[in-house]
Chain A
Amino acid sequence: MAAEKKRKSNKKKNPSVSKTLTLDRAMKTKGGAKRAKGGDRKKKRHGPRLPAALLKELAVQNPSPSRSSDEEVDDDYAGGDRGADVYEYDEPVPEEEARKNRRFDEVENYEYELPEDFEDEDVPSDEGEEDEEITSNRSDDDGEEGEKHLRMLQEVTGMPAEAFDDKKKKKKVTLSDFQGDDGDQRISIHDLLDSIRGMTGYSELRKRVEQQESKPMAVQVPLPKVEREKLERKFAYEHAKKDITKWEPLVKRNREAPTLLFEQDVDLGFSTVGAIASQFEPRTEFERKMAKLVRDPEMVEAYNKDGARLLELNEVSVEDVKERQNRLAKMRSLLFRHEMKAKHIKKIKSKTYHRILKKEKLKAASAELQVDPEVAKEYAMKQEFKRAEERMTLKHKNSSKWAKRILQRGLNVQDEGTRAAIAEQLHQHALLTRKMNSMKDDTSSSDESTDNEDLDEELSPGKDDERVSKLLNRAKDKTVKVLEEEDKIPKSGVLALPFMERGLKKRQEAAYEEARLALQEYDASLRQFEDGDVEESQRSLKIKGKRAFGPKNQPQESNKRTKLDDVERSSDSEDEYEAAEQARVGSELNNKSDEVHLGTALLDDEPETAQGAVFKSMDDIVNNPGPKTTYEVALFTDNSWKKMKSKGVSGNNTESTAAKDPPKPNNDMKEMDENDDSDSEEEMVEGFLSTSDGKANYELPSQAVLIHQAFAGDDVEAEFEKDKMEALNEEVPEPEKPVLLPGWGQWTHIQQKKGLPSWMIKEHENAERKREEALKKRKDAKLKHVIISENIDKKAEKLLATTLPFPYKSKEVYEQSIRMPIGPEFNPAISVQALNRPAIVKKAGVIIKPIQYEEVDPHEKPDEPKRIIQKAEPNRKGKKSKKSKPAGGKKPQKPSAEKRIR
Chain B
Amino acid sequence: MVAAEETGVFDRFKPSTDQDALDELELKSKKYLRGEAANLEVLQDKKLKGQLAVREKLYGQSAKAAAKAEKWLMPSEEGYLEAEGLEKTWTIKQESIVREVDLLSARKAFDMILPELGPYTQEYTSSGRYMIVGGRKGHVAMIDMLSMDLIKEFQVRETVRDVVFLQNEQFFAVAQKKYPFIYNRHGTEVHCLKEHGKPLKLQFLDKHFLLVSVNSFAQLHYQDISTGEIVANYRTGLGRTDVMRSNPYNAVIGLGHSGGKVTMWKPTSVKPLVTMLCHHGPVTALAFHSGGHLMATAGMDRKIKLWDLRKFEVLRTYSAQAQTLDFSQKGLLATGNGSKVQIWKDSGGHEYEPYMAHAMVKGYQIGKVSFRPYEDVLGIGHSKGLSSILVPGSGEPNFDTWVANPYETNKQRREKEVHALLDKLQPETIMLDPKKIGTVRPPRRKEKKAKKEAEDEMEEAIAAAKSITVKKKTKGRNKPSKRAKKKQEEVFKAKRPFLEQPSEDGQPPAKKKQRVSEADELPKSLQRFARKKTA
Contacts and interface: CB of A to CB of B under 8 A. Distances in A.
B37 A816 contact: yes
Contact of B54 (A258, A713, A785, A807): A258
Contacts of B428: 793, 795-796, 798-799
B276 A786 contact: yes
B440 A828 contact: no
Candidate in B35, B40, B269 with the most chain A CB atoms within 10 angstroms: B269
Interface string A517-561: 000000000000000000000000000000000000000000000
A208 interface: no
A802 B438 CA distance: 9
B440 A815 contact: yes
Contacts of B279: 716
Given A401-B481, A717-B277, A793-B431, A801 B440 contact: yes
Interface in A753-795: 780, 783, 785-789, 791-793, 795
8 contacts: A727-B271, A793-B269, A796-B431, A801-B439, A810-B42, A815-B440, A819-B435, A825-B402
A810 B2 CA distance: 42
A809 interface: yes
A809 to B, nearest CB: 7
Interface in B403-441: 428-429, 431, 435-441
Q: Could you say which interface size class chain B belongs to?
A: 35 or more
B190 interface: no
A828 B69 contact: yes
B440 A800 contact: yes
Nearest to A814: B440
B463 interface: no
Contacts of B301: 712-713
Contacts of A785: 276-278
Contact of A256 (B50, B58, B59, B268): B50
Interface stretch (B8-16, B60-68, B221-229): B60-68
Q: Could you say which interface size class chain A belongs to?
A: 35 or more
Contact of A830 (B2, B43, B65): B65
B284 to A, nearest CB: 13
A825 B441 CA distance: 27
Interface string B29-40: 000011111111
B259 A719 contact: yes
B277 A809 contact: no
A831 B273 contact: no
Given A402-B484, A785-B276, A819-B35, A795 B62 contact: no
B274 A828 contact: no
B43 A820 contact: no
A821 B35 CA distance: 12
Contacts of A828: 62, 65-66, 69
A292 B44 CA distance: 65
A834 interface: yes
A712 to B, nearest CB: 4
A587 to B, nearest CB: 33
B157 interface: no
Contacts of A815: 439-440
A713 B280 contact: yes
B312 interface: yes
B437 A800 contact: yes
A797 B439 CA distance: 10
Contacts of A819: 34-35, 435
B515 to A, nearest CB: 18
B268 A793 contact: yes
A413 interface: no
A835 B271 CA distance: 40
B274 A788 contact: yes
Contact of B58 (A405, A818, A831): A831
A599 to B, nearest CB: 42
Interface in A494-516: none
A256 B54 CA distance: 9
A814 B3 CA distance: 39
A723 B275 contact: yes
A804 B438 CA distance: 10
A252 to B, nearest CB: 10
A827 interface: yes
A817 B439 contact: no
A720 interface: yes
Contact of A811 (B37, B268, B273, B440): B440
Contacts of A902: 1-3
A402 B485 CA distance: 10
Contacts of A315: none
A255 interface: yes
A820 B59 contact: yes
A808 B55 CA distance: 14
Given A789-B273, A800-B438, A825-B402, A820 B34 contact: yes
A695 to B, nearest CB: 20
B281 interface: yes
A223 to B, nearest CB: 42
B277 A800 contact: no
B271 A786 contact: no
A812 interface: yes
Contact of A788 (B61, B273, B300): B273
B444 interface: yes
B34 A804 contact: no
A797 B274 contact: no
A123 B104 CA distance: 127
Contact of A800 (B40, B273, B280, B441): B441
A90 interface: no
A818 B431 CA distance: 18
Contact of B440 (A402, A803, A830): A803
B313 interface: yes
B261 interface: yes
A714 interface: yes
Given A258-B54, A793-B268, A816 B36 contact: yes
B35 A865 contact: no
Interface in B470-492: 480-481, 484, 488
B188 interface: no
A813 B40 CA distance: 8
Given A809-B44, A814-B439, A835-B59, 5 more contacts: A798-B428, A811-B440, A817-B38, A828-B65, A832-B62
B47 interface: yes
Given A820-B34, A865-B58, A807 B47 contact: yes
Contacts of B100: none
B48 interface: yes
B66 A865 contact: no
B336 to A, nearest CB: 22
B453 interface: no
A828 B400 CA distance: 12
B260 interface: yes
Contacts of B271: 727, 789, 791
B43 A809 contact: yes
B21 interface: no
B51 interface: yes
A744 to B, nearest CB: 20
A628 B253 CA distance: 82
B55 A817 contact: yes
A491 B45 CA distance: 88
B52 interface: yes
Interface in B206-252: none
A72 B359 CA distance: 144
Contacts of B38: 812-813, 816-817
Contacts of A783: 312-313
Candidate in B48, B51, B62, B69 with the most chain A CB atoms within 10 angstroms: B62
Given A801-B438, A834-B58, A816 B48 contact: no
B338 interface: no
A834 B61 contact: yes
A116 B54 CA distance: 67
User: Would you list the 7 A-B pairs with minimal beta carbon distance, nearest first?
Assistant: A816-B38, A831-B62, A800-B441, A785-B277, A795-B428, A828-B65, A807-B48
B118 interface: no
